[in-house]
Chain A
Amino acid sequence: GESVGLHLPTLSVQEGDNSIINCAYSNSASDYFIWYKQESGKGPQFIIDIRSNMDKRQGQRVTVLLNKTVKHLSLQIAATQPGDSAVYFCAETNDMRFGAGTRLTVKP
């Protein structure tokens, strides 16, 4: 079946820099996407979501961009902090499967 996948397995950034985590999906009928953050030893937690009738949505320090033409979405984290270090998953909610995730490491 179709599934959501990630471009990069790891990302390392300096504290204070902006981070961009990318995700590709294959189901062109997908209409709702979620980004999750998973800290070590914990379950994934909801960060932000976006519906397919939008191409951008902003939260607190996070922005999700959706490009339906190329079936790509990204998570941008502004002024990355050490507490942002975690694995980030994107999920297309019609599919109960997740990609491998991207591990974000923030260097002080």
Chain B
Amino acid sequence: AQSVAQPEDQVNVAEGNPLTVKCTYSVSGNPYLFWYVQYPNRGLQFLLKYITGDNLVKGSYGFEAEFNKSQTSFHLKKPSALVSDSALYFCAVRDPISGAGSYQLTFGKGTKLSVIP
């Protein structure tokens, strides 16, 4: 079964500083990995995904993520945090060869990012 771990419930970072939100995964095959952001009382917004190819993936709003197969990680990063980046971030995985269940997204518990002015 596929699973995702986000080890930090909350991350605080000063505005202008780089930010990292951590994610590790477990799947039986090669993973398809996604990051979503959720603002209060809003739906989930897609940020970026890793399917194959370059391990560094660039996404929306200046975010990027690095896929590391040996460490089974897919950490979300941004060089310079904005106050408006404050939100709940979810990492998600799909295992494309697991048969039944391969279309659903399995989410981590989420990490609350607070960017301090």
Q: Do A and B bind each other?
A: no
